[in-house]
Structures are given as structure tokens and as C-alpha cells.
Amino acid sequence: MQETKLDPWGSSRIEDYDKLYSAFGISHFNPLLKRIPSPMRYMRRNIIFGHRDYEGVLDAILGQKKFAVMSGFMPSGEVHLGHKMVMEEIIWHQERGGSAHFAVADMEAHSVRGVSWKDCKKIGDDYILSLIALGFKPSGRIYFQSKDSDVKDLAFELGSEVNFSEMSAIYGLTNEAHVSHMLSAVVQSADILAPQLEKFGGPKPVVIPVGADQDPHIRLTRDIASRARKLTVNSREDHIRIDVKTKDDIDAMKDIERKFKKNKTGLHELHLDIYGAKYEEVAEVADKAEIKIGGYAFTPPSSLYHRFMSGLTGGKMSSSVPESYIALTEPPNDAAAKVRKAKTGGRATAAEQRNLGGVPEECVVYELMLFHLIEDDDKIEDIYKECKGGKRTCDSCKGYAANLVFQFLKKHQDDRENAKRRLKEYGIKYE
């Protein structure tokens, strides 16, 4: 018999993500798992597969230091299970002490997808209800890009750090690309960096949970964050070195030098060397000094990447094929019916199924349970083993999953109704 690797968290499509590690420098998430206190379902199950710089956020969680979580969506199409993943990741970090920020990317939807402002508001409100229903707390910040002057002002500033050819290389823009399309890209960078504004508690690690398709935005924003720095701190062999870009900012260096009076220091035209000090200590002082001279002292944002569920009909989920996804707002009965029709990893006949077992790695129903419907790891492992061992029939398995989807949606939709009454706590007007 052919040897197959048994892994309830695996998927036949996971290889698609492998190249992201080598090609773009995304790190594997798995090695961090054991350091994470009560990791969430997507972490435990390898659904969050990669990250950039998540260590900084993890250190903040463990050391109870300040950090933030931020993400957002373009309001286009119905709110569905894919959105739920990001929402749950935001909420998980909020529960661990992070300040939480959620953007409705209406400027992006309007400029890139041509969604009218009226629809942006309507769809955005719908997303917000699900976010709150899933457990987002009122201490967090929810906003529409077009209504947020902090974000818009910051976007204008950040725009000085990127030029047209860079934008077009990253986003594949042609000469015909509209200016507002480009603008919406810097607005997204502003979304990501705004949690580090003084107003929101200053520089700190910020994690952006997103689908892997959003990585170009993250990379660009990390570059912008570094470029916007007035002071840069680097560890050298036997000292710490701080550089400034212009002589105008040398006063900040003098400030820092004074704080390290006890240490041996050397102030040069555009840099300062400090001996016998810890990196973290110098970095913190440098952040304060940078803010004093009007800088932002951004920490490059971190990110988490999750893989996507397949469409219920096989292939990709697509908003233009309603049978391929489950909307959080659709009638629970309709959703259950979609599950009963979904593509499974079952065999052609019942006898084959009994003898060979099913293929959960290629089963959308299994994926649905793994991603969304079953919280208990032992339970999902049992299902996996039963399927592999030919002890489940797809018909009853689909019925089981359909019922779970029904229950989940019913509760979620009740919670959305409750959320409607609580919008004021979040500072939101709902029409």
C-alpha cells in the first residue's frame, strides 16, 4: 500500500503556499506555536502558515507590553467565512491585550472596484455587525477610511516615501492607472501604520492578519515604515550606532547622547556611537527622540498569513458564484443546502469508500469543519481518522456539517441583531 502521511491539519493545496516562503521571505509560523499561550484554532491547525516578524508581537503578548492588531476589508460583496477568519484573528489578539483597529477600506473599494459610496457604507456596516457579533470589544477602533482624517493625513505624508515606478512594479499598474488607485495603496499603508501614531499610544509592534494575497501591501508598508524613520538604530560588533539623514536632526542625537552620559559615546556628523548599552534601551530612547523632532518612529509592521478555504463547489471561492461560499448573512437553511451539495473527498461507491477510505485532504466539507465548525482538536482528529479508515459515509458526514453550519449561522445572526443595538458603544451610527 502506498504510504500516505497522516496529518489532520494538512491539505493537498498546501504546496501552493510553499513558494511564498522562499520567494518572498515569509517565515514559517509553526516553530512559534509552542510559545503561544492558548493558540487559536487557525494557529493550531496550520491554517495560519506564515508570518513576518511575529516574534515582536509574541514578545509583547508574553511580556504584557503594548502592541496592536489591525486589519480591514474592501466593502465589496457579502460578508462571508473568509472575512470571519480575519475578524477572529483580530479578536484573538484584542483578547490578549492588543489595541485593535478595523478599517472599512471604502476608498479602495470606490477607487479600485468602482463601488458607490452608498454601497460602501451599506456593505461596510454589514461587515461591522459581524465583527461585533464575533466578539470585537468596544475598546477597539472601527472606522471607514474616507471618514478618518488621521489615516488620510498620514497617507499624504507617507506618499512622499513612494514613487510611481515603485507603485507600478508592486501593483502591476500601467500608465493608465488612476491616481486614486495609487492613493488608495498609500491609504492602506496609513491604515497599517496609524495604530502607532501618538494619538493611539505611539510606536509598538502591530500585527496585520491577512490572506497571503495581501503580502505586497505589507512589504511596501514595511519599507515605507523604515524609510519614514528620521533615526535608525543598528547593533554593531561592540557598540550601537544611530544614524540620522540630515544635519537638521542632529539635535536629537545630542539629546540621546546626554541620556547615555555614563557610557562612552562618539558623536559624528551624521551618526552617534554608544558603547556598553543594550540595543532595546537605545532603541527606546531613539524612538522618543525621533518623536520629539516630529518623526513617527515606526516599528515595521508584522503580519500573519492564512490559507484560504476552497470553494464549496471545488476550485476557488468566488463572490460571483454564490454556491461556492457561505455568507454570514444568508438564510441558515440555504447554507445547509450548499453544504449538502458540496464537493467531498469521497469515493465513487460506498464499497470503495469502506475499503479505501475517503480523502479528507481533498474534501471541502472536511475543510469547513477544520476551519470553522469544530473547535475541539480531538473531535476533528477523530473525524479525520474515521474518514481515512472508511468508517464515515459522505452523505451522513455532509448532513452533520450542514447541521453545524445551520446552528452557527443561526446564532451568528442572532448575535448580529444584538450587535445592532450596541453600535453606539462603538461610536458607530447605523442607518
* Burial class of residue 135 in the structure, from the number of CB atoms within 10 Å of its CB (0-12 exposed, 13-18 middle, 19+ buried): middle
Nearer to ligand SF4, 216 or 390 (CB): 390
Nearer to ligand SF4, 289 or 339 (CB): 339
CA distances from 128 to 80, 109, 133, 369, 417 (A): 12, 16, 8, 24, 12
**In whole angstroms, what is the distance from residue 262 CA to residue 264 CA?**
7
Binding track, positions 11-50, relative to ligand TRP; x by CB under 6 A: ----------------------------------------
Distance CA 285, CA 277 (A): 11
Q: Residue 192 or 328: which CB sits closer to ligand TRP?
A: 192
Minimal distance, residue 203 CB to ligand SF4, in Å: 47
Residue 93 Cβ, how far from ligand TRP at the closest point, in Å? 13
CA 317 – CA 323 distance, rounded (Å) = 9
Q: Minimal distance in Å, beta carbon 367 to ligand SF4? A: 9
Give the shortest CB-92-to-ligand SF4 separation in angstroms: 26
Q: Which does 228 bind (CB under 5 to 8 A by kind): ligand TRP, ligand SF4, none?
A: none
By CB under 6 A, the count of residues binding ligand SF4 is 13
User: Whole-angstrom Cα distance, residue 285 to residue 306?
Assistant: 35
Q: Which of ligand SF4, ligand TRP, none sits in contact with 143, Cβ below 5 to 8 A by type?
A: none
Distance of CA 298 to the CA centre of its chain: 18
Among 8, 72, 124, 332, interactor with ligand TRP by CB under 6 A: 72
Q: In this complex, which beta carbon is closest to ligand SF4, that of residue 76 or of residue 344?
A: 344
H-state helical runs in 96-172 = 106-113, 117-133, 149-158, 164-171
* Contact predicate 418/135, CB 8 Å: no
Distance CA 76, CA 113 (A): 8
In the complex with ligand TRP, which residue's Cβ is closer, 70 or 167?
70
Q: In the structure grid, which three cell numbers stand for residue 316, read together?
A: 476557488
Span 173-202, contacts to ligand TRP by CB under 6 A: 188, 191-192
Cell of 20: 511564498
Beta bridge partners of 343: none
Question: Which stretch of DSSP H or E encloses residue 181?
Answer: helix 179-193
Which of 11, 26, 46, 71 contacts ligand TRP by CB under 6 A? 71
Q: Are β-strands 231-235 and 239-244 bridged in parallel, bridged antiparallel, or unpaired?
A: antiparallel
40 touches, from ligand TRP, ligand SF4, none (C-beta below 5 to 8 Å by class): none
Looking only at residues 340 through 379 of this chain, which bind ligand SF4 when binding is defined by CB under 6 A?
A: 344-346, 358, 360, 363, 365-366
Residue window 102-131: x/- pattern of binding to ligand TRP, with contact defined by CB under 6 A: -x-x--x-----------------------
Cβ atoms of residues 305 and 218 within 8 Å: no
User: Among 388, 402, 261, 274, which residue's Cα sits nearest to residue 326?
Assistant: 402
| Binding-site partner at residue 398 among ligand TRP, ligand SF4, none, CB < 5 to 8 Å by type | ligand SF4
The grid coordinates listed for 382 are: 477523530
From the list ligand SF4, ligand TRP, none, partner contacted by residue 73 (C-beta under 5 to 8 A by kind): ligand TRP
Which of 137, 125, 130 lies closest to 412, judged by CA? 130
State the residue number with the nearest CB to ligand TRP: 105
Residues binding ligand TRP (CB under 6 A): 70-74, 103, 105, 108, 188, 191-192, 208, 210, 214
Residues binding ligand SF4 (CB under 6 A): 344-346, 358, 360, 363, 365-366, 387, 392, 394, 397-398
